Structure formats: C-alpha cells, structure tokens
Amino acid sequence: MSLNKSNNWSIALVMLLSIALCIGIGLSVGSSGLESLQNAWHDEVAWQIIWDIRLPRTLGALAAGALLGLAGALAQGLFRNPLADPYLLGSASGATLGVALALAFFGGNQLATEVLVRVGLTGAAFVGALLAVVLTLVLAKGVQHTMRLLLAGVIVGVVMGAMASLISLMRPDILQNMQGFLLGSTAFIGWSACIVMACFLIPCLCFAWFFGFAMDALSLGESTAVSLGVPLRAMRMVIVLLVALATGTAVAQTGLIAFVGLAAPHLVRSIASVKSGSLALLSALMGGLLLLLADILARSLIAPQELPVGVLTAVLGGGYLLWLMYRNQNQGALG
Amino acid sequence: MSETSIAIQSSNILVSLNGQEVLHGIDLQIRAGLWTSIVGPNGSGKSTLLKALAGLLEFHGEVLVFDAPLNSFKAKVRAQQISWLGQNEVTSDDLNVWDVVMLGRLPYQDWMAVPSSQDIQAVETALQATQSWDWRQRRLGQLSAGEKQRVLLARAIAVQAPLTLMDEPLTNLDPPHQVNWLEQVRCLTSQGKTVVSVLHEVGMALHADDMVVIQAGRIVHQGACSEPTTHRAIEAVFDNRIAIQSIHSHWIAVPNLLRSR
Amino acid sequence: MHKTLENFIAHLSGILCLSFAFWFSSTSYATETTKPPQRIVSLLPSLTETVCALGACNRLVGVDRYSNWPESIAHLPRMGGGIDPNIESIVALKPDLVLMAGSARGVERLRALGLTVLTLEPKNYADVQNALGVVAKVIGVSSKESDRVWRDMNAQVEEISKSMPQQVNAQRVYFEVSPVPFGASESSFIGETLQRLGAKNILPAAMGVFPQVSPEFVVRARPDIIMVGDSNLADMQARPGWMNLQAMRTGRVCTFKPNESDILVRPGPRMVEAARLMSKCLIDKSAPKVKPNP
C-alpha cells in the first residue's frame, strides 16, 4: 500500500516539475521570442508581453487543460466507460447554442454588440453548457440509469447543435463571430479568464478528491455500491454537476478543445494505477500539462505564426496513445 | 431443534421487472446464525429474491431484518447490517486488491474515508481468510477469474456484517477454493453470523443448514437440509433428473441417468 | 433540491464571470487622441486600403495576412487573420491604433491590454462612406480630404454606370461570394454597385446582406448572368441542376481571378475597380433578353 502511494506522489511531483518547466518555456516563446523576456526589465511593452499576454495565456492553458482533464476522468468514472469524454452530456453543443443566441439577440446596436457580446459571450457559453446538462438530466429522468443519461446527452448535443446551425443560417452575419469564439484557442486568455478558471478548478478538484470513494465503489458494480451504503443518486448528481461546471468553464474561456478530456485519464492510467480520487487529480495535472505543451508548440513551431491548439492536442495525446497501443500489441499484453 | 431467532422475515414479496411479475408473493423465514441456501432452476427468481432481501430492488410486501422493517434502515446502518456479494460486475481493472477489500469498510468510514486500525484489521483478516494476502498489491486486472472472485469475497467478508447475502459466490472458483469458501461460511456461522447464498451447484448447497427451494417465482419448500422432505422437493423441482443421496454422512446430488424418458 | 442548487450556481457563476470580466478589462473607446496615431495596425483588408487611400499608408506598421494592396504594404509584418489575430505580435508593434472588424475575435482582449481599437465592418455604400469619415477622423486626416476621396469614388462609379449600354438594363445577376453558397444581395455594396450599373440582383434585400442561399433558389430564379471566383467555378458546376441553367449553358458566367475577386469583395476605395470589373462582365455577357424556356 505504501509503495503505491509513494509511486503516485512521485508521479504527481514529476508532472508538477514538468509543468513548472513548461511555464518557464511558455514565458519565453511567442512571436517576439526570447528577446521579450530579456527586455522585460526595461521595456514596458516587453514587460506587458510577458506579464499580460504570455503568463496569463500559459497559466490559462494549464487551468483549462486541468478542467478538461478532470471532467474527462469524472465522466469516465460516471459512465464506467473509457471512451467517455466531458462533452458527452451535451455541454459543448449547449455552449454553442448559448453563443449563437447571444450573438443573434445582441447584434443590433453597435455598442451593445461590442460590450455585451464580448463579455457576455463567455457567460452565455457557460450558461448554455450548464442548461444543456440540466436538460440532459431532465430527459434522462435523473441519474439512475447511466445508459439513459448517455443517450439523453447525445440527443441534447445533437439537437442543440442543430438549433445553433439553424440560428446561424437565419443570421449568417453571426457565423464568423460564432466560429471565432468556438474554435478552440488559448490565444485570448487574459488574467480575468485565468482567475475565473482557477475559481472553478479548485473546488472541483476538492470535490473530486473527496468523492473518489463513491466512484471506486461504483466500479465494483451498482448493486455493490448501493449495498455499501453509497448514496449513489446524490453522488451521480454531484459528479454530473462537476463535469458540467468544469466543462462549461473551460469552453467559455477557450472554445471547444477536443481530446484533452478523453486522453488525459488514459495517459495517467498508462503510467500508474490509481483510485478514482487520485485519478481525477492526476488527470487534471495531465490535462493541464497536455494543453500547456500544445499551447507552447502552437506558438513556437511556426513562429511568428500560430497553429490551432486543437490540432496539437490531438497530435500529442493521440500520438502517445497510438504508441502505447503499438507497444502493448508487441508485448502481447492487454491494454 | 432449539428455537433460533429469525434473521429475515419476508411476507408476500412481489417483484416486477420490466413490467412482468417475477416473484409472486414470497413468504419466508431465514433463521439467524445459520447458513441458508436458495436453490431452484434457472429463471426461478433466486437472484431477484436475494436482491430484494438485500434491499437492492423495489418490491411490494414487507421484509423484516432482525425484526426491523428493511425500509426503515438508513443507508449506512443497512450497509453495516447486510453484506452483499453480487455477481461480478467489476468494470475497473485499476484498483489493487487491498483497496478493493478496503471498500468493504465504507459503511464504517466517514466521507474522508481514512481507514481506522479496525478497518485495517478487518481487511487483513478478510485477505487471510481468502488466501489473498500475498498479492494484495496486485491490480484487479492482473488477477485470474478465480483470484478476482476470492478478492470480491474478501471484500464482502470485510464488512463484518451480521447478515451476509451472496449471489453465486462460487463462480470461477476451483474445488480447493470452493472448499475454502465452505469453511469460511462455517466460520461465519460459528461467530453467530447469518449467511444466505444462492447457489446453482446443488451439491454445495446441500452443505447448508437450511434450504429454500424456489420455482417460477414461488417458494416450493423451506426446511432443514437434512430433512427428506427437502430432498424430495429439490428432486421434484429439477424434474427428478437428480437424486439426493448420502455418502459418508454428506448429502450429494447424483445425476439420475437411469430414468428413462 | 439539486436542480435549484444547480441553477443557483449557474446564475452565480454567470454573474461572477461577467463581473470579473468587467473588472479586469479596461475598455477604451477613445476616438479622439491628442496626437494622431503614428503606428497603425489594420486587420481588415478593406480598412487597410481605406487608410492608404487617405494617404496614411506610411503609418501602417502591421496588417493581416489577407491585406495585399497596395504594393507598399508588402513588406509589413502579418498579424494573422480575422479569426486568429496574433495578440502578441500586435502588442509587440506598439500600435496606437488597431483597426479591425467588429466580428473579429480578440477585440476585447486587445482593448483589455490597453490598445485603442476601432471596429468597423462596412456592408454597403453608406457604411463605406461612414468608414472613410470615421477612419479619417481617428487618424487625423481632415474631413475635407475624406469627403474628397468619397466624392472621387462616387463620381468614377457614376461615370462607369453612365457608360453602360442599354442591353445591360434589367439583366438579372447572381453574384456568388463563397461556396456554400453565399451570395451578395441587393443590400450589399456589391449589390448596390450592380444596381448603379443598371443590373438587377436575384437576391432581394429581404434575404440579408450576404445570405446563405439554397442552390434551388438560384435555379428557380434563373439568373441571366452569374459572377463567381474561378476557384469556385468547379464547385458550382457540380451542383445538381446547375449545368442546365440558362446562364451556364450559354456561357454567361464571369469568372474572376483571385486578385480580381479580392477587389470585388472589399468594401473600400477599390470599389471603383470593382465597378469596372463588373461593368466589363456585364457588357461582355449581356445579350438581347432571351425568352425564358417554358
């Protein structure tokens, strides 16, 4: 028992060190390269680049990745399905619809558009994501049957996506705005976005850690979990709520970044076997690291231009998983 | 036989699954401190009955556990009173053996789930009892089916509940471990605990103290395993394809090949 | 109980988000600065061209990747596009004015970083005139000058339209802006140019400025002339029923090379060139009106 625990701690430590290293790298790469860092002491603009642009962007990528990784681990625990991702409950489409509605209704006045739309889009995306999950819960008549929940989530996702498409058809002028907002990107994260994400990340992490035992019990089977006195219904509600909050927050700030939520828990499981509580925490770290790396590569590979960060998360995460599969195949072990 | 107290008393249990009635008014009494076996043909409703008695299913009727209605138990109290071993529904391979068995102590732990010395003791005892102590650090995914079953059994034992309900606990167990399981049950009853099992291996079931014979959702017979009426009931329920006979003072079920169709 | 809790949290967080964003972002809408901006970044090609038309080309320090006119801006660093402006590059240039489309991403971010951002997205002639005036005011060019530029443009377009032959009248045109398809309606600047040249637009103003049209609508409307960029032509030909269009069969399709397409779709000073291109097309392809097939 002690061996496992110290193993987990050392893994967490290694990840934290890597993150610290990446933050350092993140401060040094960008369109103006290392010289911004060097000039930061005496050049006001260079300082602004480091402090106001690179640092919040780097920390924001970390926070968003952590939120997505955590949500992914929770979703996979909730549905007891390794292919689950945080968008399964319909939150992605809900955010899309929220953004579409906000744009459609606020497009009139130029000033209203500028102020409300920019600030309100974040809130609209967040509220949309949450409402989609609530709708999923209503459709599934509660959290009792995960299959029904899954199905309801897929339905809500598809229907809301269709409604968002309909709105953008009726008002094609919002299309560019919508696409711009929803395209996964870490490029526009400022300090306010960072702080909002951190405000949601910390309680979500705490909850996931404390309720890990419920997910462990659940992994032994529903009847076993109930027989052990686990308040399954309440636990599932809490987990769904956590997934909705974490996903909604991340999507509202960075748009739709795929794959981080799905890959992070798998990446963690490939290097350690952990209980659900630890898995959630380590998945958050892993997700943060993944998105952080992707963000750094996005800005440095073809600097001064940028690659879309979603492409890099897929390449990094997917590449590693492919390599794992290949290695397992060769070793003949089960994955 | 001296008057033993009743661990479970059920009256008129009705259970419907998917709109169809599966149990049609079950009245039974499970005596405390003894091992009761439930047998019957496939689809007779054995597992359903056990789940109802454990409070894991919705049912009409009344179940009294140690003279208190089952519905009146708070979840944690019920969890401490009744230990359940269901059929294998494990989905995660990541937990290690120790953590799995420790989950059996959840009914005694608060939300922070920090194991007390009592919990650790209970887990150790359970692991020793199922000969799983040596590989307690291994992950579930690395175990064979039989080893997994023993670990799940240890988990059920770790609860240390006065009443243990087990559904097909011998799945995947080879003969030596089946015998170990028998010894475990005897150990539990000697401590005054009650065990109820659903077994489709009639030969093993005959080692119990009491037998409940069920067919098509109705109780056909309740009685001691040594009684001839019980044996006739079992034979009848299985279409007389088996014969209950005694060898070395043990009751066994022998296939009845001599009966012509 | 759980649902109430959820809703409460949703509201609370929405409020938190909004308040944080307001708190931390500093919006500056200063349209009047003490000294006219000397370092201008433009992230919209039509605005780039507008700045140059007002004679302030030398004050541009950065443009978006799509700006390609005039030649003098070719050496300027590219700051990305509308959807993906490179925040860091823009800030590193220390601009005192950033011009971009209102629908572009990053407007709030740039403002939060303390930059002066002016958003304009002209859709029709009135917008273009307005944009000229606003940009002139902001960069310190006299309104006399911007008026002059506008009058100039207008006059040249008038000249072109006066020289249009009779046969162009009542030619019904379909102008495709991008494959999907998106077309230019009467209310767009493209539509207005066509109108001044005497042609009609099959897409009425009621459909919006650049509506997404159903291919079936275009087939039913039976345009006399089709205008499209040559890269989209193959796409167009593949649409079911389109090869049978009168305009397609009689070859009354004007295709435009990429640099010509650029001129046509930018609501800026080069609308005159656009008018010229369109007039050439109309004269080329218009013919005595043929009775539509029953």
Q: Is B91 on the interface with A (CB under 8 A)?
A: yes
Burial class (CB within 10 angstroms; exposed 0-12, middle 13-18, buried 19+) of A268? buried
pLDDT of residue A147: 87
| pLDDT surpasses 70 at B88 | yes
DSSP annotation of A52 reads I
Binding-face residues of A in 94-113 toward C, CB within 8 A: 110, 113
Between C7 and C214, whose confidence is greater? C214
> Would you tell me which residues 54-73 of chain C have a C-beta closer than 8 angstroms to some C-beta of chain A?
none
The full set of domains in chain A, from first to last, is 2-331 (1.10.3470.10)
Q: Cβ–Cβ of C84/A306 closer than 8 Å? A: yes
Residues of A in Cβ contact (< 8 Å) with B119: none
pLDDT in tens, A285-298: 999 999 999 999 99
**For residue B234, which of B206, B196, B198 has the smallest C-alpha distance?**
B206
Does the CB of A48 have a partner CB in chain B at under 8 Å? Answer: no
Mean pLDDT of A56-72: 96
ipTM of the complex model: 0.90
C109 near A CB under 8 A: yes
- Residue A33 φ/ψ region, left for φ over 0, alpha for ψ in the -120 to 50 degree band, beta for the rest: left
Mean pLDDT in residue range A227-239:
91
Query: pLDDT confidence of C78, banded at 50, 70, 90?
Result: very high
Q: Cβ of B148 under 8 Å from any chain A Cβ?
A: no
Q: Is the pLDDT of residue C93 over 60?
A: yes
CA-CA distance, C115 to A117, in Å (whole number)?
19
Q: Give the span between the Cα atoms of A68 and A92, in whole angstroms.
A: 12
User: How high is the pLDDT of residue B249?
Assistant: 82
Q: Is C182 on the interface with A (CB under 8 A)?
A: yes
* Most confident of the following: A61-75, A167-181, B81-95, C154-168: A61-75
Asked if the C-beta of A328 comes within 8 angstroms of chain B's C-beta atoms, the answer is: no
The answer to whether A334 faces chain B, any CB pair under 8 Å, is yes
Q: Domains of chain C, with CATH numbers?
A: 25-141 (3.40.50.1980), 165-285 (3.40.50.1980)
Best to test chain C binding among A44, A188, A191, A204 (most C CBs inside 10 Å): A188
The residue among A144, A171, A306 with the most chain C CBs within 10 A of its CB, best to mutate, is: A306
Q: Over 90: is that where the pLDDT of A247 sits?
A: yes
Mean pLDDT, residues C226-251? 86
Q: What is the mean pLDDT of residues A133-155?
A: 90
Q: How many CB pairs under 8 A join A and C?
A: 143
Q: In what order do the strands lie in the sheet with C117-119?
A: C60-63, C40-42, C97-100, C117-119
Checking if the pLDDT of A107 tops 70, the result is no
- Helix %, strand %, coil % for chain B, to 5? 35, 30, 35
Mean pLDDT computed over A98-103? 87
Give yes or no for residue C1 having a pLDDT over 90: no
Burial B200-237 (b: 16+ CB within 10 A, else e): eebebbbbbbbbbbbbebebbbbeebeeeebbebbbeb
Q: Residue B87: its pLDDT value, please?
A: 87
- Residue of higher predicted confidence among A103 and A20: A20
Average pLDDT of the residues in A174-191: 83
Query: Is the pLDDT assigned to residue A304 strictly greater than 80?
Result: no
What's the pLDDT at C179? 82
User: What per-residue confidence (pLDDT) applies to C212?
Assistant: 85
Position A117 scores a pLDDT of 52
Query: Can you give the residue ranges of every domain in chain B?
Result: 6-255
Which token pair is B129?
Answer: 């009892």
Which pTM value belongs to this model?
0.84
Q: Do B89 and A224 touch (CB under 8 A)?
A: yes
Mean pLDDT of chain A: 87
- The pLDDT assigned to C25 comes to 39
Residue B42 burial by CB count (10 A; 0-12/13-18/19+): exposed, middle or buried? exposed
Pair A219, A276: CB distance under 8 Å: yes
- Given a cut of 80, whether residue A49 has pLDDT beyond it is yes
Question: Which residues of A fall within a CB distance of 8 Å from B88?
Answer: 221
Q: Which residue of chain A has the CA closest to C104?
A: A177
Interface of A with C in 217-256 (CB under 8 A): 234, 237, 241, 244-245, 248-249, 252
Nearest CB partner across the interface for A130, out of C10, C88, C92: C10
State the nearest Cα–Cα gap between C285 and chain A, in angstroms.
Answer: 30
Judged by a CB distance cut-off of 8 A, whether residue A83 touches chain B is: no
Name the residue facing A223 among B79, B84, B113 (closest C-beta). Answer: B84
Q: Is the pLDDT of residue B259 over 80?
A: no
Contact check, Cβ <8 Å, B95/A273? yes
Q: Among candidates C184, C203, C205, which has minimal Cα distance to C274?
A: C184
Q: Pairing between strand B60-65 and B6-17?
A: antiparallel
Nearest by CB to residue B106, choosing from A3, A217, A274, is A217
| Nearest C-alpha in C relative to A233 | C2
Q: Do A187 and C86 touch (CB under 8 A)?
A: yes
Per-residue pLDDT tens for C60-75?
A: 999 999 999 899 999 9
Give C-chain residues touching A167 at CB under 8 angstroms: none
Subunits with 3+ C-beta pairs closer than 8 A to C: A
Residue A10 scores a pLDDT above 80:
yes
Q: B169 to chain A, minimum CA–CA distance in Å? A: 14
Name the band, by pLDDT with cuts 50, 70 and 90, for residue A328.
Answer: confident
Higher-pLDDT residue of A1 and A255 is A255
Q: Do residues B97 and B47 touch, judged by C-beta distance below 8 A? A: no
Q: How confident is the model at residue A137 (pLDDT cuts 50, 70, 90)?
A: very high
Q: Find chain C residues with C-beta within 8 A of A110's C-beta.
A: 102
Higher pLDDT, B260 or B253: B253
Q: A residues 140-169 near C, CB within 8 Å? A: 169
Residue B232's identity, in one-letter code, is R
Tokens 């345009």 sit on residue: C223
Tell me which of B94, B143, B167 to substitute to probe the interface with A (most A C-beta atoms closer than 10 Å): B94
pLDDT tens-digit series, residues C12-41: 655 555 554 444 433 333 444 568 899 999
Give the mean pLDDT of B57-64.
90
- Predicted local confidence at residue C16, as pLDDT: 57
Q: What is the pLDDT of residues C181-227, one digit of tens each?
A: 889 999 999 999 999 999 999 999 988 888 888 888 898 899 999 99
What span, in angstroms and rounded, lies between the C-alpha atoms of B193 and B178? 20
pLDDT at C115: 93
Tokens of B47: 């597992």
What mean pLDDT is predicted for residues C80-104? 88
Q: What is the pLDDT of residue A48?
A: 86
Percent of chain C with pLDDT over 90: 53
At C9 the pLDDT is 61
What pLDDT score does C291 carry?
56
Q: Is A198 on the interface with C (CB under 8 A)?
A: no
**pLDDT reading at B23 higher than 80:** yes
d(CA B78, CA B70): 8
Whether B261 has a pLDDT exceeding 60, the answer reads no
Pick the CATH number of B6-255 from 2.40.10.10, 1.10.1660.10, 3.40.50.300, 3.30.420.10: 3.40.50.300
pLDDT in tens, C256-286: 999 999 999 999 999 999 999 999 999 888 8
Q: Between chains, do B86 and A224 touch, taking CB under 8 Å as contact?
A: yes
**pLDDT of B236 strictly over 70:** yes
